[in-house]
Amino acid sequence: MKKILLLTGDFAEDYETMVPFQMLTMVGLEVHAVCPGKNKGESIATAIHDFEGHQTYTEKPGHNFTLNYSFKDVKLQDYEGLVIAGGRAPEYLRLNDEVISLVKHFVTNDIPVAAVCHGIQILTAANVIKGRKLTAYPAVKPEVILAGAEFVETEIDGVAVDGNLVTSPAWPAHPKFMAAFLKVLGVQIILEPDQQLA
């Protein structure tokens, strides 16, 4: 069974934490959701970002999400992929040296990485995207360019794939985002001829 590490934190985007966790678990992967400074069984507060016709997204309180693994127990060699949630959490997570080291490990060792929305801020802070093609929430575009990457313009539900790196601008992209990540991971969903999805 493949193990996936999901990096999140307080006021990460609600859907961008919960939906990848649930989707990857649903297809049989073991997902460890972690936050620096917190242990298994503790929770993070999430925020819901929505697109309601304003010049930027709105933010509302989300759910509490219970972490199922302790950040201090992470052994990088155990994981075959990394997911980085967006929202507000990346603003402060990128200041954590252990987070930066963790991200560098995955990217430089060509291990699949999926980052959504503002999660790309952690990639820019880790200085690992020079020469790569990726997308992000539009407000993160200047950081992507300053980090030496090519910003890929996509619809809000789009995805960009560059080798081991899968990125999307926001949670409306989850179907394409997770499908692309599963493909990069080498995971296939096969239904028997007599089976149907409920």
CA distance 129 to 126: 8
The number of CA neighbours under 13 Å toward the Cβ of 79 is: 25
Q: Which of 32, 35, 49, 118 is catalytic?
A: 118
67 vs 58: CA distance, rounded Å: 25
Q: Which of 32, 35, 117, 174 is catalytic?
A: 117
Beta bridge partners of 31: 4
The residue among 173, 102, 180 whose CA lies nearest residue 137 is 173
Q: Tokens 């790309």 — which residue?
A: 120
Name residue 135's amino acid.
T
Nearest to 82 by CA among 45, 43, 122, 47: 122
The question of whether 117 is a catalytic residue gets the answer yes
SS3 156: coil
Could you give the angle at which helices 14-26 and 174-185 cross, rounded to 10 degrees? 50
End-to-end CA distance of the chain: give it in Å, rounded.
Answer: 24
Residue matched to tokens 């649930």 = 22
Active site residues: 117-118
